[in-house]
Structure formats: structure tokens, C-alpha cells
Amino acid sequence: MSRTVKKDENSYRSILKGTSAFGGVQIFQILVNLVRGKFVALFLGPAGMGISALFTTASSTIQQFGSLGLNLAIVKEIAASRDNSEALQRALHIGRRLIYATALLGALVCILFASPLSRLTFGSGDYTLWFVVLSASVFMSIAGSGEMSLLQGMHAVKRLSLASLIGAFAGLLFGVPLYWLFGISGIVPAMIMLSLTTWLFYFFSVRRLVRLKKDMFSGWRENLPLVRKLLGLGLVLMGAAMMGTLTNYLVATYLRSAGSVTVVGLYQAANSLTNQYIGMVIAAMGIDYFPRLAAVSTDNIRVKDIVNRQTEIVSMIVTPIIILVILSAPLIIRVLLTAEFEPIVDVMRWMGFGVFFRVLLFPLGYIFYVKDNKRLFFLLEGVVGNIITLALSVLLFNWFGLVGLGMAVGVDNLLSVILYLIICRRLYNVGYFRRSWIGVIYATLLSGAAFACSFISVQWLSYALMSVLFLVALGLGVYGLRKLIRSENKPEESLEITSVNLDD
């Protein structure tokens, strides 16, 4: 079996196509989650929703630690090996074996610590047996995420999108009836059905894409250098993620002690609503962007080109979304929350404007990881970034109250972008082209103008100006994207990638 790919998957057209495809998947998965949440509320009630949320949180935590952060490391290795059949086979073999080893590890942790997990999560041992059963979901969730990383590394955009869509829909279709039939007792079986369907669709998508040769795996000892490399990168990523989790916990703890539990709730609500919009773009960009960057990681000129192309496109896509968040913040709060949450309108607007710099940071942040600069990646992502976040959150909350937390997001991301640009320029000569700077400045000015208009006291004028700016950003974005695609004017060439025989 074979597949045809475009010779230059880093063209503006391919970048936009990949981001759009995964963006659509993200929207669909959000809708599926909303529908599933509605059925959980309908069939299980508030208590059942609470139990479901606790099981989901516990499962996600075990998956995060059980996977050892290997997914991105595997994506990087496969993407960098795509032009070398032998190296690709080795990366696929080792990657898949590590995936299932970590899946088994996660399941064993869930079984062995079922009783402590039950007591820690629910305050009693009544759910011990359910945590034992939940180990099946943990195993298949880690395995499914791992299979997805194989597809991502191969940059199989269509297969990855289709598998994600079908997996999410099938999980909804087969899982919801369990809530209706068994009530609270159907929560864990529904989680198992969701993880099972997702894993199966990813698994068979990988098998249809490539066929592995058994004789390419000569044993663990011979492949120890690659195993160490993958584990080293994975553990660094997991360590940075743990630092981020710890920082969020410290911020929440400080807000509770210096403010109140209500302040914590308001902050989390503003953060969650803002990230629901922008996080969708970042997630879509990451799935498509990271393997493309990893595939050319040894060539600084090509890395610079990809970073700039991604920055140009994302500036045009994100600007109208950010303005829409600023414009519709009061409406979003009224529809999704209650009147009690109205104090977070200004917080959401600050976060909406500030999160633009996080989107700019995203293409730069992966450079250190694909360059195997583990120490610098951990120092910046795990240590320095989280210290800045914690310090700014505490400082600006003390000075400006709840709104200061929104300000902290903007200042934090802006400082990080400046720091990353300086370091990338010094180490790898990677910075923005003139056209990228123009795009960044245009996006900042438009977003900033909409943000400033939100403070106009005459309400009709404020919303009218923000609406005009949204339409301008949308129009300029569409025009700019079409202009970028037309500017390439290159004949589309294709090259045939022969699949490799694989028997697993």
C-alpha cells in the first residue's frame, strides 16, 4: 500500500489546510463533549456529574504520568526519520513498543493503587473496584494517544482527522446508552467504551498507513540509545508539564488565602472560557506544526522558514477570534455561566488580548525541543516560565485585584515571546522575517484597538467599534491568506512514499 504526499508540505496552502482540518476536529470534539456532558447531566444529575468529573480527572492524571511524556518525543523521532526507510522502521517499532509498555504501566498503577486512589478521590474505599476496572480505560487511552502520535509523526493529516472524528463520535454513540441503562454505574464502562473506540480507530489507521517489518526490531539492547533518547525527551516534557501543574496549584492556593474560594472560582472560569477559544487553535496548530518542524530540525534555514510561515498564518487566523472573545465576553458569560460571574468580563478581555502573545510564543517554544536541547527547554518551559507566571499573578493580583490576573496573562506571554525571540536568534539565527513582523504588528494593533474600545463607557459605541474591527480583521485575514497562497505560484509536485512491510 502507498500514499502520495505533497513534496512541500510546508507551503502556505498545506499549513492552512492542516490547521483547518485539525481545527475542525477540535470543534467537533468540543461539541461531542458538550453533548456528552448534557446526557451526563440528564441521566446522572449533579451528583453523577461530580463522580464522572472525579473519575475523569483521576484517569487523566494517571495517563499524564503513565505515558512518561513520550508522545511528542515519538512524533519528533518519526518526523525526523521519514526520509530514511530503515530509521523510520526503527522509530516506529521502538515507539510502538514503548507506547504499550507505558500503557501497561499506567494500568498497573491504577490497579495497584486503586484503594488509595479511591480514598484520595472520594474520601472512602467504596470505589476501589471501579478504579481497578478503570485501568482498562487508562491502558487504552495511553495506547490510543500513542497510536495518534505515530500518525502525527507521519503527518497523515486526513487519516488523523478522520480517526479523531470517528473515534469521538463512536464513543458518544456507544457510551451514552450506558448512562441511561446503568446510571452512575455506567460512568466507568462509558469511559472504557470511549477509550476503546478511539484506540481502535487510531490503531487500524496506523496499520493501513504502514506495514512494519518484524526483522527490523533486533532487540532492546541494540536499540538502547534510541530508547534512552526518547525517554529523556519524554521525561523532560513531563517534568515541564508537572511544573506547570504545580504553578497552577500554587496560584490557586494563593488566591484562596489572599482572596477567597470565590476568587479562585472566578479566575478558573475566566481562564477556562478564554482558553476554550484560543486553545482550539493552539491544539490544531500543534498537531500539524510540530511534525513539520521536527522533520527539518537540523536545518536552521528551513526551521526559520517554517516558523515564519506559521506565524504569518496564525496571526491572520487568530486576530478575528481574539477580537470576537473581547466583543462577546459578556454574552459568553451569560450563556455558559450565570450572573454571578459578571465580574470576570474585564478579566476575560485582558486574557483574550494577552493570549495572542501565547499564540506567537507557540511556534518558537517547540524549537528547543526539536533541537534536542533538553536542558534549555526544561529551564525555559519548566522553570523560568512558571516562575514568571507565579510572580506576575501574585504581584498584579495584589495591585489590581481580579483584573490583575488577566493583566498577568498578557505581560507573562509578552515577556516570554521577547525572551524566546532573543534566545532563538542567538542560538539558531531564527527570527521573524519582515513580512512576519508586519503581520504581528497588524494583529497586535487590531486586537489592541478592540481591547481599548471595550472600555468606552457609551455601550452602543463600544460594541459598534468592536464589531467593525472584527469585520475588518476577518476581511483582512481572508484576503491575506488568499494572497499568501497565490504568492507561491509553484506547480504542485508529488512524490510517492512507498509503505514498508510491517507485521506486528
- pLDDT value of position 492: 40
Residue ranges per structural domain of the chain: 12-217, 242-487
Instruction: Name the more confident of 447 and 21.
Output: 447
Instruction: Name the more confident of 48 and 140.
Output: 140
Helix (H) or strand (E) holding 495: strand 494-498
pLDDT band per the 50, 70, 90 thresholds, residue 46: low
- pLDDT value of position 8: 56
Instruction: Name the more confident of 200 and 57.
Output: 200
- pLDDT value of position 7: 45
- 140-145 mean pLDDT: 90
- pLDDT value of position 64: 79
Q: pLDDT tens, 231-273? A: 887 888 888 887 887 887 788 778 877 877 777 777 877 877 7
CA separation for the pair 404, 396 (Å, rounded):
5
Give which of 232, 241, 238, 239 is closest to 372, Cα–Cα. Answer: 232
- pLDDT value of position 374: 80
Of 34-43, 129-138, 248-257, 411-420, the poorest mean pLDDT is in: 34-43
pLDDT band per the 50, 70, 90 thresholds, residue 396: very high
* Alpha-carbon torsion (413, 417, 423, 428), positive or negative: positive
Which residues make beta-bridge pairs with 5? 495
Cα radius of gyration (the chain): 23
Instruction: Name the more confident of 223 and 316.
Output: 316
- 395-403 mean pLDDT: 90
pLDDT band per the 50, 70, 90 thresholds, residue 229: confident
Of 90-104, 191-205, 261-275, 301-315, the poorest mean pLDDT is in: 261-275
Mean pLDDT of all residues in the chain?
Answer: 79
- 437-442 mean pLDDT: 88
Instruction: Name the more confident of 71 and 21.
Output: 71
CA distances from 332 to 1, 323, 345 (A): 48, 13, 9
- pLDDT value of position 471: 93
Helix (H) or strand (E) holding 6: strand 2-6
Residue 170 pLDDT > 80, yes or no? no
Residue 91 pLDDT > 50, yes or no? yes
Residue 361 pLDDT > 50, yes or no? yes
Q: pLDDT tens, 483-500? A: 777 776 544 433 333 333
Helix (H) or strand (E) holding 256: helix 224-258
Percentage of residues in the chain with pLDDT exceeding 70? 82
Residue 370 pLDDT > 70, yes or no? yes
- 392-413 mean pLDDT: 90
- pLDDT value of position 57: 73
- pLDDT value of position 309: 85
- pLDDT value of position 11: 61
Percentage of residues in the chain with pLDDT exceeding 90? 11
Instruction: Name the more confident of 437 and 229.
Output: 437
pLDDT band per the 50, 70, 90 thresholds, residue 149: confident
- pLDDT value of position 215: 57
CA 265 to chain centre: 23
Cβ(247)–Cβ(386) under 8 Å? yes
Of 27-31, 101-105, 385-389, 444-448, the poorest mean pLDDT is in: 27-31
Cβ(175)–Cβ(194) under 8 Å? yes
Q: pLDDT tens, 278-322? A: 666 677 666 777 778 877 778 888 888 888 888 888 888 888 888
Give which of 36, 168, 151, 45 is closest to 95, Cα–Cα. Answer: 151
Which residues make beta-bridge pairs with 392? none
- pLDDT value of position 284: 66
Helix (H) or strand (E) holding 60: helix 12-66
